[in-house]
Amino acid sequence: MKKIIFIAIFMVSWAATAQISLRGVVKDSIGEPLEMANVIALDTVAKRISSFGFTDANGNFKLDLDQNKVYNIKISYVGFKEISEFIKTKSADISKNYTMFEDNMLEGINIVSKMPVTIKGDTIIYNADSFKNGTERKLEDVLKKLPGVEINAAGEIEVEGKVVEKIMIDGKEFFSGDTKLASKNIPSNAVDKIQVLRNYSNVSQLSGVQNNQNRVAINIKLKEGKKNFWFGDITAGAGDSPDTGLYLFQPKLFYYSPKYTINVIGDVNNIGDVVISRRDARSFGGNFQSQSPSNGTNINIADAGIGFLNAGARNANRIETKLSAVNFSYSPNPKLDISGFLIWSGNSNGQRNINNIDYVDPETPDDLVDNQTSQTSNTGLFRFSTAYKKDFNNQLNYNVAGRFSNEFRTDNVNSRVLSDITESESSTPFTINQDFSYFYTASEKSIFALEVKHLLQDEDPFYIASLENDPNNNEEANREDRDGFDDAAETLGLDRSLTFYDLEQDRRVKTNQLDAKLDYYYILNTKSNLNFVAGTILSTQTFDSRFFQLGTSNVPNPTIDGIDDAQITNDTEYNFSDIYAGLRYRLKAGIFTITPGFTAHSYNSNNTQYGTETFKDTFIKFLPEFEVVAQFKRSESLTFTYKEEVNFTDVNQIARGIVANSYNSFFARNSELINANFHNVALRYSSFNLFNASNVFARISYRKTANQVNRNTIFQPGSVVSSNTSINSPLDNENFNAFGRVGKTIKKIRMSVGGNFTYNKSYQFINSLENTNESLVRGVNTSIGTNFTKAPNVSLRYNLNFVDQSNTARPVDIKTVSHVPSINFDAYIWNSLTVKSDFSYNETRQEGSVINSFQIWNATLAYRKDRDAKFEYELVGSNLLATGSEVSVNQNIVSFNINERFILPRFVSLRVRYQL
């Protein structure tokens, strides 16, 4: 053991002394330090970059060099003459300062382009090849290796903690609406540069008068050989699993030229590879990004569709996916850009969940529910966009997007309390979004921005439920001797003489909303400007529904406690209007950008029930806002924001007739609901330091909500069936959230440490009694990994999460701890063999006892003759340990749940990829 320790100490000492440091300061001709100058050391023998770095705010730089070698030191900075000097290293560190002189010829720009990372203003430029080791196949594989870039659990790209809103290819937007289509499909070998555009604004006229520090986009620069030619790949495969044969066919083809582009993505598989989930499809392409700040009014247009479960490899036991997608852009002249896409997505999946439910209400019996679900969703998406820039002073945009769906869901449920239940739902909703905007610079001091949005939505969910019934035990004195649904059936006014309770419900919800606003920016001087805004939101919604029982002439006559005059039909019209005006003042003072402002609103909402009952609410509201940004350095800032907002519900919450959410939950709305008020405070810090190869991100936020729309849940005595109604909470809800992450790169080792803290306090009402619900979540996540370009890479992660949940209706708190260590390995061997493997272990504990643990192991082995080979052969295995299910623990407002979800079994497939 002593020998081993001695050898380890010797190796560490040798590694520490095998290199020397070159340090110095870079200044301009008048002695001012130059921040973010590029400093590189070229190995004169190997003819490659041996070390690179950047100067900090004081002009300091540091390079790690090998001993006894000759290097060509090059220093470049836009607008200055390049410095080129040869030095020979020995065994001692070197200190040397440099002075740069102005040069409008911008020499050295070619050297800069070869740097692994460069910064030009608000743009970070990554040279993709500098981060590849040969195992990458898609853009996502490269993004994961870039300092400051993360792929979150939802598959979204984050830069410095901010979600990237769009990806462009050579300046052309790629399938606007979802960055995952780009990250998971664009071939990594086509990528030359990855440009991260911070403080992004796609309207150049507004970039100087707005704060865009929370907006980030990415532009991918293609390699020269990929332009004016078709490129991409086609993958086909087959395999085996315990239950069925496997198949896969994925063509992904791309064509880019200066004038037009075409992208084609196809996918047919049953291996659980979901390109666009139903959740993605429902938000895809129609969320047009406003170019002016939010004006404080939120309207929650709820999803009235069926309760479709999102499906993935970790929560479904069967997934079949079909996708056809075409994206195009065309620029007939430099002033006009036309783009759009057509997508058809089909998804069929099966899920099984066994849920152990412990209800908060002590009088409600606990339940064990085994739910087997079969779902099918077919969705068509389209988008058409035009951007016309007559000149720098005039820009006109028009976008239209639509979604048309046909969805089905069937559930076979076994409940310990309610016995066997069958449910089915279907829906054919559609949504059309339109957006028109015009930006006009009238003079050097005046800019106008007009934006108009229109939403048209139609939803028609249809629900059927069938529950077993023994008509002979309805009146048993002992409630436990009756069927679990009998008392609820009596409350709902159903015919209890049938052997089945066959319930049906149809709904129709229509939404028509217009949002228009005009911004006027008046530039006072180079440091300040005023923003005047005026606008309106006009919304009309209708809600019609009918709840009835099949097999009987009996018309249900509900008599539900807490719900007066309950009806089985709905005929509701809800109209809302907001007319507002506001003012913002933006001032730059030193490192600070200060933006105080306010908007004044005149609100008018009214709803009519059954054509006769009308509830109106009219009021005026003043909403203040404040933001200050401290820009310490180019890549270091601190932002404080405060904003008051008003939140309005939609027609789904105020239509007061009975609606069946499910077989055990019936809902009657409240026509007299009023708006909720939000007070939001946030503090955000971000730093991207290329001098010491570190990035830091932290965010603290606090929200206080008054008049929050909550529910009063009333359980039938001794039953798991509940009726709910909406109410405005008389007490304020609170939420505090803190999150931070520190990343550091030392040579080829990347490390990061992150933490999160969330405190949430809310009030709920069960059987009309107030309960206080508090949750405290703390988590730590760490990672360390290598980033070699010519050696295998290994990364280790460890996530630790603590969740404490308390409710005043419970005598004890529920404390849960989860541990998730994981390891990833990838290697490119002999310039032909790719090996990838990932393993994770999940363990959940309560009160020191393990209540669940499972392991997931996936692996890939791929062979190609060399990097430029057209064909590649892959052997892919997923869930190789044949883990059958996963368990999650959570608590909602009425119950504590331990949910076991069954997942895809072991899949092994052989695939062939052909690269164009």
Element holding 486 (H helix, E strand) = helix 486-492
For residue 635, the model assigns a pLDDT of 79
Q: 562-568: which pairs have CB atoms within 8 A and are 24 or more residues apart?
A: 562/712, 562/714, 562/723, 562/725, 562/768, 563/668, 563/723, 563/725, 566/657, 566/658, 566/668, 567/610, 567/656, 567/657, 567/658, 568/657, 568/658
Rg (CA), the chain: 31
**Would you say 755 and 799 are in contact if contact means Cβ atoms under 8 Å apart?**
no
Mean per-residue pLDDT, 351-375: 90
Tell me the C-alpha to C-alpha distance, in Å, between residue 468 and each of 354, 556, 663.
20, 18, 12
- Can you give the pLDDT at residue 740? 92
Q: Which two tokens stand for residue 451?
A: 């934006």
User: CA 741, 742, 745, 751 torsion: positive or negative?
Assistant: negative
DSSP string, 161-220: TEE--EEEETTEE-STT-THHHHTTSBGGGEEEEEEEES--S-GGGTTTS--TT-EEEEE
Quick one: pLDDT at residue 307?
66
Q: Does residue 587 have a pLDDT over 90?
A: yes
- Give the lowest-confidence range in 621-630, 761-770, 871-880: 761-770
Pair 788, 133: CB distance under 8 Å? yes
With CA atoms as reference, report the closest residue to 794 among 754, 749, 830.
749
Q: Taking 80 as the threshold, does the pLDDT of residue 266 lie above it?
A: yes
Structure confidence at residue 286 (pLDDT):
57
Decide if 427 contacts 375 (C-beta within 8 A). Answer: no
Better pLDDT: 285 or 61: 61
pLDDT digits (tens, 9 = 90+) for 465-520: 999 988 888 888 787 778 888 888 888 888 998 999 999 999 999 999 999 999 99
| Residue at token pair 């829906």 | 427
Q: CA 858, 863, 867, 870: dihedral to nearest 10 degrees? A: -110
CB neighbour list of residue 565: distance below 8 Å, 6 or more residues apart? none
In sequence order, the 6+-apart residues with CB closer than 8 A to the CB of 334 are none
Contact 461, 425 (CB under 8 A): yes
Residue linked to tokens 């949750």? 775
Q: How far separated are the first and last CA of the chain, in Å rounded? A: 55
Quick one: average pLDDT of 750-779? Answer: 89
pLDDT recorded at residue 14: 42
Residue range 207-261, pLDDT digits in tens = 778 877 778 899 999 988 788 888 999 999 999 888 889 999 999 999 998 888 9
What pLDDT, on the 0 to 100 scale, is given for residue 107? 44
Taking residues 152-176, report their average pLDDT. 83
Give me the pLDDT at residue 710, please.
81
> Taking Cα atoms as reference points, which of 286, 344, 291, 329 lies closest to residue 173?
329
Report how far residue 758's alpha carbon sits from residue 52's, in angstroms, rounded to the nearest whole number. Answer: 40
- Tell the residue number behind the tokens 């980030």, with chain if given: 216
Structure tokens at 390: 């007559």
Q: Is the pLDDT of residue 137 over 80?
A: yes
H/E segment holding residue 735 = strand 733-746
Q: Judge whether 438 and 395 are in contact, CB under 8 Å.
A: yes
* pLDDT-based confidence at residue 810 (cuts at 50, 70, 90): confident
Place of tokens 């003759």: 865
How would residue 114 be classed by pLDDT, with cut points 50, 70 and 90?
Answer: low
CA distances to 68, 76, 410 from 420, rounded to whole Å, are 80, 74, 14
Task: Report whether 584 contacts 597 (CB < 8 A).
Answer: yes
Find the Cα–Cα–Cα–Cα dihedral 696, 702, 708, 714, rounded to 10°.
80
Local confidence band at 283 (pLDDT 50, 70, 90 cut-offs): low
Contact predicate 233/869, CB 8 Å: no
Banded pLDDT at 104 (limits 50, 70, 90) = low
Q: Which residues are registered as beta bridge partners of 394? A: 391, 440
Which pLDDT score is estimated for 788?
84
* pLDDT at position 341: 92
* Alpha-carbon span 657 to 726, nearest angstrom: 12
Cross-strand pairs, 743: 695, 752
Phi, psi at residue 143, to the nearest 5°?
-60, -35
For position 564, what pLDDT does the model report? 66
- pLDDT surpasses 50 at 614: yes
**Is the pLDDT at 10 greater than 50, yes or no?**
no
pLDDT in the model for residue 44: 84
Residue with tokens 């009425």: 894
Percent of the chain scoring above 90 in pLDDT? 44
Sign of dihedral through CA atoms 699, 702, 705, 710? positive
Give the amino acid at 118: T
pLDDT of residue 492: 86
In this prediction, what percent of the chain has a pLDDT beyond 70? Answer: 94
Average pLDDT of the chain, as a whole number: 86
Q: Which amino acid is residue 337, in one-letter code?
A: D
Query: What is the pLDDT at residue 17?
Result: 46
Q: What is the mean pLDDT of residues 415-428?
A: 92
Phi, psi of 704 (to 5 degrees): -120, 125
Report CA 774 to chain centroid distance, whole Å: 25
By mean pLDDT, which of 23-37, 149-163, 637-651, 822-836 is the weakest? 149-163
pLDDT at 246: 93
Q: Give the pLDDT band (50/70/90) at residue 67.
A: confident
Rounded to an integer, the average pLDDT of 262-279 is 84
pLDDT at 381 over 60: yes
Q: Which residues share a beta bridge with 790?
A: none
- Whether the per-residue pLDDT at 687 is higher than 90: the answer is no
Q: Is the pLDDT of residue 299 over 60?
A: yes
pLDDT score at 288: 64
Would you place residue 12 in the very low, low, confident or very high pLDDT band (cuts 50, 70, 90)?
Answer: very low
Structure tokens at 48: 């490659």
- Torsion-angle region of 29 (φ positive above 0: left; ψ -120 to 50: alpha; else: beta): alpha
User: What is the pLDDT, as a whole number, of residue 643?
Assistant: 95
Tally: H helices and E strands in the chain: 6, 52
For residue 456, give both structure tokens: 């048209």
Kindly give, in sequence order, each residue whose CB lies less than 8 Å from that of residue 29, ignoring residues fewer than 6 positions away.
99, 100, 101, 102
How confident is residue 144, by pLDDT bands cut at 50, 70 and 90?
Answer: confident
Q: What is the pLDDT of residues 533-582, one digit of tens each?
A: 999 999 999 999 999 999 888 888 887 766 667 788 999 999 999 999 99
Give the residues across from 99 on adjacent strands: 27
Strands (E), 257-309: 260-269, 297-299
How confident is the model over 192-216, as a mean pLDDT?
Answer: 83
**Per-residue pLDDT tens digits for 645-659:** 999 888 888 888 888
pLDDT at 463: 93
For 139, other C-beta atoms within 10 Å of its C-beta total 26
The reported pLDDT for the residue numbered 110 is 46
Over residues 130-136, the mean pLDDT reads 86
